Amino acid sequence: DAKTTQPPSMDCAEGRAANLPCNHSTISGNEYVYWYRQIHSQGPQYIIHGLKNNETNEMASLIITEDRKSSTLILPHATLRDTAVYYCIVRGDRTDKLIFGTGTRLQVFP
Amino acid sequence: GAVVSQHPSRVICKSGTSVKIECRSLDFQATTMFWYRQFPKQSLMLMATSNEGSKATYEQGVEKDKFLINHASLTLSTLTVTSAHPEDSSFYICSASRLVDTQYFGPGTRLTVL
């Protein structure tokens, strides 16, 4: 599975959009981009995933570049409860293994 | 999203004893369940993958005789830490998926071995 690169930490003001980038320059055509988040001392929470097209659900939007080498997770109106470590993971279509990197620690401040 | 539970949420045991952790998928049938371990300030590390009715597949460096995994039904997997030692103290997290699909995670079990 392709490796991902994320900034170690980011800050965001409450009520503003949080844009979390992820680089996956070695992604192959059949690999999905998944996003999870982990709030302190809890299990990871699924957020969203995509293959080629941009995706949106009740939690977030996922923007994938046309060449698929990077993506951005957007939390449109961040709240204090969105403070967590966000993981971007690339997963092949023939495996359900997830390999977690170090993620981005998002701190939402009042 | 799908709901996965774990029991117990916390356990403290003496060195040398065995501890069993249960993972249940509450609202879907999980063909595959995964076990992860997370040490403080580190990321999740995959320990093993188990398919219902089959032997678990362990990641490199994970002792299969120490971490016994059973996945006897489509809604239940168990992880038994045998002869636990203080270095086994960690946060153990399970996840479940149906076919090759999104994984949903349990809330985790914090194991402390004295």
Nearest CB partner across the interface for A44, out of B46, B105, B110: B105
Per-residue pLDDT of chain A (110 residues; tens, 9 = 90+): 668 999 999 999 999 999 999 999 999 888 999 999 999 989 999 999 999 999 999 999 999 999 999 999 999 999 999 999 999 999 987 777 898 999 999 999 99
Distance between alpha carbon B59 and the CA centroid of its chain, in Å?
13
Query: pLDDT tens digits for B28-40?
Result: 999 999 999 999 9
C-alpha span between A3 and A24 (Å, rounded): 6
Whole-number pLDDT of residue B56: 93
Given a contact cutoff of 8 angstroms between Cβ atoms, the answer to whether B24 and B5 are in contact is yes
| Closest residue in chain A to residue B6, using alpha carbons only | A43
- Residue in A closest to B98 by C-alpha: A96
How does residue B112 score in pLDDT terms, banded at 50, 70 and 90?
Answer: very high
Using a CB–CB cutoff of 8 Å, tell me whether A86 touches chain B: no
Inform me whether the C-beta atom of residue B28 falls under 8 Å from chain A C-beta atoms.
no
User: B32 — contact with chain A (CB < 8 Å)?
Assistant: yes
3-state secondary structure of A38: strand
Any idea what the Cα angle at residue B67 is, between residues A91 and A4, rounded to 5°?
20
